[in-house]
A and B are shown apart, each in its own frame.
Chain A
Amino acid sequence: MAVKLSVENIYKIFGERTDAARDMLHEGKTKEEILEATGATVGVQDASFDVGEGEIFVVMGLSGSGKSTLVRMLNGLIAPTSGAIMIDGVDVANCTKDQLRRIRREKIAMVFQHFALFPHWSVADNAAYGLKVKGVRAPERREKALSALEQVGLSAWADSLPSELSGGMQQRVGLARALATGPEVLLMDEPFGALDPLIRREMQDELLTLQRSLKKTIIFITHDLNEALLLGDTIAIMKDGRFVQVGTAQEIVSNPADAYVAAFVADIDRGRVFTAEDVSNDPAPVKLGESSAEDAMRVMEDLNRNALYVVDEADKVAGVVTYQDLAAATLDEATPNPVLEEVMITEFPTADADQQLADLYGAASAGLPIAVTDDKDRLVGVVEPEAVFAQLSGEEPAAPEDSAAEPPSQTDTKESANA
């Protein structure tokens, strides 16, 4: 993935004596000590990161952590004290006013927390603002603004005033305004922070849907870790102007860098962070017509599982066989040499690889392993119910392969029979 935006060692120190403050930072002094000694406030210290094209990079932090300062430096609204911000080979932090203006007009658009719509202009005029600034003529401007409004589902409101719209709708206008100029990079400064929880949820889903087709490079600022984990391809956790951890949602939740991050992560809904893929095992399927009942039982004993999926010639999932059923069938006098088709259960739970664990509770509690399938119904993995609950409770999921061999337990037998 090509790097679209690259930030190298940027600092922002507010106040007069920035050099003295920086020296103190290097000595390891805290923000408070520096403020007391020099009167300078440290906004951002030594932040470096790369954002790939089409990636959503979320910066999460509490108020005062410097996240808003950071995002404002990316389009030059605040000039960094030192460091470089490269966008397509131009350093935003050290370029001329004309260059900066051109970058703002062509490449970067911003969405604001409190929408920042012009109250005296119609929705369409607001959406067209970036184009007006660029000098696009009125008819073309309106046409592009309307298509941007169409994208966010607001074309019917084009001639209303922003004050006639609800908060969520106003932020859609803010988004349309940012999209209308066709920018490559979107800066979103807590865009959903001022919205009701339900509307926020809706907007998050919509942003993800839009992003699937738009593939913009997005820098998203939030104070809500759940939002960060939901949206971010990469997430940076910020504290006192510094990145304390950068990683994917799964990395941050399963492996917090320090106590600060761990305290945040403790409260989040793990079922919405992890997906079926994260807890799935090698499917180790048995094939219809090839493998016998004994083969299947041997594999289960080797892998310490109590059920295996059965696939047909085209690798499609045909059903699931459990150890108990096979054992019972083998012991049964009537069928001394059972065939897989006869004992396999054809009603089995399935999941997509990117399905959230929260959606798998029901299936997992049935006791059968869950088949993870791709879009052609082929088996790509198996999720053991224990793995789901282990991940949700925050324990490291014990991979059945590694654990001590243990025959299927009595409770599992009952559940399988019920299923």
Chain B
Amino acid sequence: MLDSPGDLLTLPFADWVNGFVRGWLVPNFRPAFRAAQVPITLVLNGLDDFFNFLPWLVTTAAFGLAAWKWAGRGMAIFTLLGFAFIDMIGLWPQTMTTLAMIITSVLFCAVIGVPLGILSARSNLTWKIVRPVLDIMQTIPSFVYLVPIVMLFGVGMAPGIIATIIFAIPPIVRLTNLGIRNVRGDLIEAAQAFGSTGWQMLVDLQIPLAMRTIMAGLNQTLMLALSMVVIAALIGAGGLGLVVNTGLGRLDVGGATAGGVGIVILAIVLDRITQGLGEANRGETVSLRQVLFNLIRFRGTRTEKTETAARSAQ
């Protein structure tokens, strides 16, 4: 009698994966993967050096002003106090390293994710392929892909960033796709009727109108990247994640909590600023030009401030 299919046939699935990764992927492609992390390392090191070089006062002032501009006065005060607290508990350098990692991850997520989202929106075939891949990326536990990442990329900051990118990229792809697909059909028709090329339609119409949704995706990606900080520290990424892990290993509740509080403060500040950035223009849409303009212009209207302040108070 057959109790279960396992009595009849055992599949050495784990061996197959081992054979695939160790026997084929690693020996053949390790140099290629190593080379692929060069741009990540370059950006990361540049940002890390930059943030650690800036005096506390300058960084805090910059973030405080940004928070004031896009998230209201309350958020600006919170930024000021929060950053002061981080510095006083002695975690400022680690926080800056984490900030550099987050920005690097989000930058690469945007550079890869936005074009991928645009492609997915313009071709149903692409979306049919991309969508299940994103589903897998979002459901597979991140610990599972830490091992092959270490095998292919080694340990350190850059592999940590790569793990973060895999974890954090789905929202920006999805929301870029969604934003572009949601552009009103009659506007697309109008663009076609006047003889625009696909590229003209993308630049004049689709990206500007999808910008608000794309910014929401960027915010989501940023939050996911922050939540990956501790896990990435397991494979050698430093910063606040390392502080938490060290505390965990030593059963040092205080140390782990200190690291955790640092992450939370950073998360709140970054979240509110990026949210405010996406919604800064109360019109129907936010164009890239407007977002960039907002980035360099430190002057907001009163209604925006009070509105965002009201929202952050909720």
A, B from the same assembly: yes
A: which residues have CB within 8 A of B?
A: 72, 75, 77, 100-105, 108-110, 112-114, 116, 118-120, 129-130, 132-134, 161, 163, 177, 181, 187
Number of interface residues of B (CB under 8 A): 21
Docked-complex contact B193 and A119, CB < 8 angstroms:
no
Taking the nearest CB of chain A, how far is it from the CB of B191, in angstroms? 8
Docked-complex contact B197 and A101, CB < 8 angstroms:
yes
Docked-complex contact B287 and A116, CB < 8 angstroms:
no
Taking the nearest CB of chain A, how far is it from the CB of B107, in angstroms? 25
Docked-complex contact A101 and B283, CB < 8 angstroms:
no
Residues of A within 8 A of B205 (CB): 118
Residues of B within 8 A of A116 (CB): 184, 186-187, 189-190
Question: Which secondary structure dominates where chain B touches chain A?
Answer: helix
Residues of B within 8 A of A163 (CB): 283-284
Give Cα A101 to B189, complex, Å. Answer: 13
Docked-complex contact B190 and A112, CB < 8 angstroms:
yes
Residues of B within 8 A of A104 (CB): 192-195
Docked-complex contact A120 and B287, CB < 8 angstroms:
yes
For residue B200, CB closer than 8 A to chain A, the reply is yes
Give Cα A163 to B197, complex, Å. Answer: 26
Docked-complex contact A119 and B195, CB < 8 angstroms:
no
Taking the nearest CB of chain A, how far is it from the CB of B168, in angstroms? 28
Taking the nearest CB of chain A, how far is it from the CB of B271, in angstroms? 26
Docked-complex contact B195 and A120, CB < 8 angstroms:
no
21 contacts between A and B (CB under 8 A): A101-B195, A101-B197, A105-B194, A108-B193, A109-B193, A109-B194, A110-B190, A112-B186, A112-B189, A112-B190, A116-B184, A118-B187, A118-B209, A120-B209, A120-B284, A130-B195, A132-B204, A133-B194, A133-B200, A163-B283, A181-B194
Given A116-B186, A118-B187, A119-B209: A110 in contact with B284 (beta carbons within 8 A): no
Given A116-B186, A119-B285: A77 in contact with B192 (beta carbons within 8 A): yes
Give Cα A133 to B205, complex, Å. Answer: 12
Taking the nearest CB of chain B, how far is it from the CB of A72, in angstroms? 8
Per the 8 Å Cβ criterion, residues 204-257 of B in contact with A are 204-205, 208-209
Docked-complex contact A161 and B283, CB < 8 angstroms:
yes
Give Cα A114 to B189, complex, Å. Answer: 12
Supplied contacts A104-B192, A129-B194, 10 more A-B pairs, CB within 8 Å: A75-B193, A100-B195, A104-B195, A116-B190, A118-B187, A118-B205, A119-B209, A120-B209, A133-B194, A161-B283
Residues of B within 8 A of A72 (CB): 189
Closest to A110 in B: B193
Give Cα A290 to B287, complex, Å. Answer: 81
Taking the nearest CB of chain B, how far is it from the CB of A184, in angstroms? 14
Find the residue from B192, B195, B196, B200 having the highest chain A CB count within 10 A.
B195
Give Cα A177 to B195, complex, Å. Answer: 13
Give Cα A245 to B186, complex, Å. Answer: 30
Taking the nearest CB of chain B, how far is it from the CB of A135, in angstroms? 10
Residues of A within 8 A of B283 (CB): 119-120, 161, 163
Closest to B201 in A: A133
Docked-complex contact B195 and A102, CB < 8 angstroms:
yes
**Interface 1/0s, chain B 252-295, versus A by CB < 8 A?**
00000000000000000000000000000001110100000000
Taking the nearest CB of chain A, how far is it from the CB of B187, in angstroms? 5
Find the residue from A105, A109, A116 having the highest chain B CB count within 10 A.
A116
Taking the nearest CB of chain B, how far is it from the CB of A395, in angstroms? 45
